């Protein structure tokens, strides 16, 4: 669950490339396509303290790739996936 108690069920699959994404603009700011190998490069992943609106502090994973910053629920999902695939050392 997210900090807002939203339950997310991620799925992993293969899609043909190139693919015409049709994201819901209310839920997706931008579709970022990049190889998984970029996410495991040195200096891309960091864990930082993030102050929530209620004043509590959470350790949040960030992935900074080029001009993209991936964090929050998406960053957590990617982090769990990369760990399960044994791609993070």
For residue 1, the model assigns a pLDDT of 62
**∠ at Cα 73 (61, 71), nearest 5°?**
40
Residue 15: inside a domain, yes or no?
Answer: no
Read off the pLDDT of residues 10-49 as tens digits, 9 standing for 90 and up.
Answer: 988 888 989 999 999 998 889 999 999 999 999 999 999 9
- Length of the chain equals 89
Q: What is the mean pLDDT of residues 45-71?
A: 94
Structural domain count of the chain: 1
Residue 45: inside a domain, yes or no?
Answer: yes
The domain in which residue 57 lies consists of 36-84
- What is the value of pTM for the model shown? 0.81
Give the CA radius of gyration of the chain.
14
For residue 37, the model assigns a pLDDT of 92
Residue 53: inside a domain, yes or no?
Answer: yes
pLDDT at 2 over 80: no
């Amino acid at each position: 669950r997210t900090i807002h108690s939203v339950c997310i069920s991620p799925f992993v699959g293969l899609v043909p490339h190139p693919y015409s994404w049709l994201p819901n603009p209310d839920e997706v700011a931008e579709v970022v396509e990049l190889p998984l190998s970029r996410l495991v490069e040195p200096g891309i992943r960091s864990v930082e303290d993030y102050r929530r609106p209620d004043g509590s502090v959470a350790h949040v994973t960030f992935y900074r790739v080029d001009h993209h910053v991936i964090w929050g629920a998406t960053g957590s999902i990617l982090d769990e996936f990369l760990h399960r695939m044994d791609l993070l050392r």
